[in-house]
Structures are given as C-alpha cells and as structure tokens.
Amino acid sequence: MCALFGGKRDVSLIQGLNRELMGDIITQQASIYKIKLQETPTNIYGEASQGKYFDGPFLFDCLLSKEDQQYPIDVEGVKYKRGIKFAFFRDDLVEKNVLLEVGDVIMYENRYYGVESTVENQYFVGKNPNYPNEKNPLNPGLEDFGSSISIVCRTYYIPADKLNISPNPERF
C-alpha cells in the first residue's frame, strides 16, 4: 500500500495551476531586495549606522493581505503605519535562488516593507517531503509525496528615506 495523492504528477499539476493563477489571473507583483550582510558595516551594537546594502530587485508574483492604515501620533508628529502579509510561490523563489529572510525589504506600490518574519508551513496534501518520518515497509517512498507550496512574509512599513534604495533611476 502507498499514498494515492500528492505524488510528483499531482505536485506538477498544482505547480502549473499556481503559476497560471498567480501570473495570469491575480497578477500582483512585488520586488524583493536581499540584504547584503557581508557588505553592510555594523557598529559594536550590531547596528548598520552607515546604511544597509541590498541585492535586487527581484520581481515575483505574490498574493497579499493588507492591514488597515494607521496614523499614530508621537512627539515627531503623525506617522504612517501599515503591515502587509506577502505570500510567494516557493518554487519561483527556488528557481531564482532567493531565500527570504528577516531584514530583507519588499517593495510594493512604491512603498517599502521590511520582512519581520517568514513562515513556510503550507504543504500540498499536508506532507513535507523533506521529513518522510521513519521508513515504513507498508508505505515506502513517502519522500516522493507532498510539496512545500508557499513562503509567507509578515512585513512592516519602512519610510523610503530610511533605506538606500530608490525605485526610480538616478538623474544626473
């Protein structure tokens, strides 16, 4: 006896449907800027006081869920605050060799959002192929079933003047 659903053919079908759905129907895109840790100098407190350096942008299709805008007031005046949850198709990220991490920046609608957490727990048929558990003589080959579908990032708004990134070409 072996698993009936979630094999390579089923995973291939789901991948094709996701690509078509996200690229041709939903058509939301966001740019990812990967932080260059080796090139970003830090002080003794681990802060990047001279600014951060980024690779990118890398453009990806995504699904997103926006929180409501907030305008908190503090001693500096009125601020703008908004979080967005971005969901990227994992296979697209793997193909372009982009690993989303805390500290990366996502640009959406000419606004910047810092990645505060990433979650990868949406599996096709609920099965993570990287963890087939123990060998089971009644159900061999479990590592060939299931697939990791998406990577979801929770983000926070970052004012553009806090970054060394410009969405527009520089003018001379």
Query: What does the pLDDT look like over 85-128, one tens digit per residue?
Result: 999 988 888 888 988 989 899 999 888 999 999 988 877 666 77
| Token code pair at residue 87 | 């969901």
pLDDT at position 51 is: 67
pLDDT at position 1 is: 40
Amino acid at position 6, single letter: G
pLDDT at position 171 is: 42
Distance CA 21, CA 15 (A): 10
Contact present, 39 and 53 (Cβ < 8 Å): yes
Q: What is the pTM of this model?
A: 0.75
Residuewise pLDDT in 10s, the chain (172 residues): 445 666 677 777 777 777 777 777 877 889 999 877 776 666 666 666 666 777 778 888 888 988 888 888 888 888 888 889 999 988 888 888 988 989 899 999 888 999 999 988 877 666 776 666 666 666 666 666 667 778 899 999 988 877 767 555 544 3
Contact present, 86 and 152 (Cβ < 8 Å): yes
Residues 137, 148, 98, 157: what is their CA dihedral angle, to the nearest 10 degrees?
-150
Distance CA 90, CA 152 (A): 9
